[in-house]
Copies of this chain bind each other. A is one copy, B any other.
Amino acid sequence: MATTVRSVRKAKGHGAERRQEILDAALMLFAQRGILAVSTRDIAAATGISQPALYAYFRTREEITAVLCEQAFLELRNRMLAAADHQAPTRASFIRMCRVYIDFGLQQPDAYRVAFMLEKGGPQPQETKARIIAAGVESFDCFHGQVARFVAAGLTRPGESVLLSQSLWAGLHGLVSLLIARPDFPWADREVLIARHIAALSDGVLL
Contacts and interface: CB of A to CB of B under 8 A. Distances in A.
B116 A159 contact: no
Q: Is the interface of A mostly helix, strand, loop or mixed?
A: helix
Q: How many copies does the complex hold?
A: 2
A43 B181 CA distance: 26
Nearest to A133: B184
Interface centre among A116, A172, A173, A200 (most CB of B within 10 A): A200
A175 B170 contact: yes
B137 A186 contact: yes
Contacts of A136: 182, 185
A78 interface: no
| Closest 6 pairs between A and B when the two form their complex, measured CB to CB | A174-B174, A200-B204, A204-B204, A170-B174, A170-B175, A167-B197
A171 interface: yes
Interface in A101-124: 113, 116-122
A122 B182 CA distance: 15
Interface of A: 34-37, 113, 116-122, 129, 133, 136-137, 140, 157, 159-160, 162-164, 166-175, 177-178, 181-182, 184-188, 192-193, 196-197, 199-205
A176 to B, nearest CB: 8
Nearest to A175: B170
A205 B199 CA distance: 9
20 contacts: A34-B120, A36-B119, A117-B119, A117-B177, A129-B184, A133-B184, A160-B188, A163-B188, A163-B192, A164-B200, A166-B187, A167-B175, A167-B193, A168-B200, A171-B200, A173-B177, A174-B174, A200-B204, A201-B204, A203-B204
Interface centre among A113, A163, A168 (most CB of B within 10 A): A163
A79 B174 CA distance: 21
Nearest to A165: B188
A185 B122 CA distance: 18
A50 B163 CA distance: 50
Nearest to A160: B188
